[in-house]
Amino acid sequence: MSHNLTIGLFGIGLEAYWDQFEGLEERLRGYLAVVEKNLKAIHPGVINLGLVDTPEKAFKAGAEFRKQDVDLIFCYVTTYALSSTVLPVVQRARVPVIILNLSPEAAINYGHFNKMTDRTKMTGEWLAYCSPCPVPEIANVFNRTGIHFHQVTGMLHDDPVCWTEIQEWVEAAGVAHAMAYNRLGCMGHYYSGMLDIYSDLTLQYASFGGHIELLEVDELSALRKTVTTEQLTQRVALFHREFEIQPDCTQSQLLRAARTSLALDLLVEKYQLNSLAYYYKGTGNPDNEDTISSIILGNSLLTANHVPVAGEYEIKNAQAMKIMDSFGAGGSFTEYYAMDYKDDVVLMGHDGPGHIGIAEGKTKVRPLQTYHGKVGRGLSVEMSVKNGPVTLLSVVEQPLKGKLMLLVAEGESVAGPTLAIGNTNSRYKFKSGARKFVNDWNSHGPAHHCAVGIGHIASKLEKLGALLQLEVVKVG
């Protein structure tokens, strides 16, 4: 299923000005054209409805935005405009709105302005710089009518801070759009007794949209039987290209993992999945045990190919991983392992799949004789996240508020010794120090899993939360 992000853009002005001040309307339309050009450089799918300067045009604009199914609206305030020319647009469109309060230059040329002899022309020149004037009026009306809005204040030209902020709003809208159409597969069942990971699926729908497909491991086991010998040979060759296969991995183990990897691809294709959460004990059924104990390499490939996979049926974390993936940051399944007080770092990782696309070097594949706390044995992956800036994200249920929260932290993945145990493992350093970070993070009651991605993207996650009307808390 293909869905594209669509952005709405309109400028506002006051029709009465056009006959009074020669050239003002054309000048403001030129400013709007600059905004359109800059937005299209960020994302091509922009619907520009031009300058809206009467209530009648506002109603038509709102209807057109609904018809075009826009995901986000930018309202560019070019000069003073009545709030009655803005409200109908946003009310009809019913999507998040960003007010662009962008002055054409850093300052009015006071000397030139005050030398003008025609006071009508002086007023027209002033109105060309008057974008901040109606913003309080618009904000007041939006607040009183229950419309959530956001603002960008800056300059039309030569303002990288302003345009970076606008770009982040577009990126956040793209992720909100991706989540709205995300098809999440949930295969198997919860890890018995791990109470923090139990999720309210309807709350996930309410917060993100999307679709959740409940799947059986039996179907994956059946798909494994359809795989051909030629496909197995090709998939093992792919493993050798994508992973660093350790010498103690046997060919039979690689073939088991390849069969399950190919079956996973078929399952993803059949249900058009964009993410997956899974866990299954596998006891009492040899086929299912063989399937679930050979799943790690295939899930690691899926995660690197924009279908993030969360183990232990951690649905909230599958959502967090998909968010990170949609921002282009990766999104690997992780949790606290231990703390290193000597180096003031937190050791984090997990058994099961890892994101090979954000690994420091090539991901190793090792055979494990025991999956700790789980049934079976087989191949596992060992990796560390790339050294450099990282962001952690947890989707947190708040039962007393009936809403989700996004818990975010920025840190650094640093070099140093890790545990060569066939699991993902990284060393993270935080500005607040390891002790305070752990206390602060835990105080918000997240599940023990979270998603880690590369880069510092807290400001983007804050904008995503604003668009989805979810609280965002940053620690670290």
Residues 267-294 have pLDDT tens digits of 999 999 999 999 998 777 889 999 999 9
Q: How confident is the model at residue 9 (pLDDT cuts 50, 70, 90)?
A: very high
- In this model, does residue 156 exceed pLDDT 90? yes
How confident is the model at residue 372, as a pLDDT? 63
Nearest to 263 by CA among 292, 304, 305: 292
Q: How far apart are CA 428 and CA 443, in angstroms?
A: 19
Pairing assessment for the beta strands 97-103 and 72-77 based on DSSP bridges: parallel
Coil, helix or strand for 107?
A: coil
Contact 336, 348 (CB under 8 A): yes
Give the range among 216-225, 412-421, 437-446 with minimum mean pLDDT: 412-421
d(CA 82, CA 32): 18
Residue 84's nearest CA partner among 129, 137, 20 is 137
Tell me the pLDDT tens digit for each residue of 86-106: 999 999 999 999 999 999 999
Q: Is the pLDDT of residue 2 over 50?
A: no
Give the closest residue to 172 by CA, choosing from 24, 324, 26, 56: 324
In CATH terms, the fold of domain 7-179 is Rossmann fold (3.40.50)
The CATH number of 182-475 is 3.20.14
- Residue 37, pLDDT > 60, answer yes
Q: What is the pLDDT of residue 49?
A: 98
> pLDDT-derived band of residue 146, with 50, 70 and 90 as boundaries?
very high
Angstrom distance (rounded) from CA 365 to CA 256: 14
Condensed to tens digits (0 to 9), the pLDDT of residues 289-332 reads: 999 999 999 999 999 999 999 999 999 999 999 999 999 999 99
Domain boundaries, the chain: 7-179, 182-475
Are 92 and 66 in contact, with CB atoms under 8 Å apart? yes
DSSP assignment string, 30-83: HHHHHHHHHHHHH-S-EEEEEEE-SHHHHHHHHHHHHHTT-SEEEEEE-S---G
Q: What is the pLDDT of residues 332-379, one digit of tens each?
A: 999 988 999 999 999 999 888 899 999 999 999 998 877 766 666 889
CA separation for the pair 91, 138 (Å, rounded) = 13
CB 365 within 8 A of CB 374: no
Q: What is the mean pLDDT of the chain?
A: 94
The pair of three-digit structure tokens given for residue 397, joined into one six-digit string: 């249920």
Per-residue pLDDT at 133: 94
Q: pTM for the whole thing?
A: 0.95
Specify the amino acid at residue 386. K
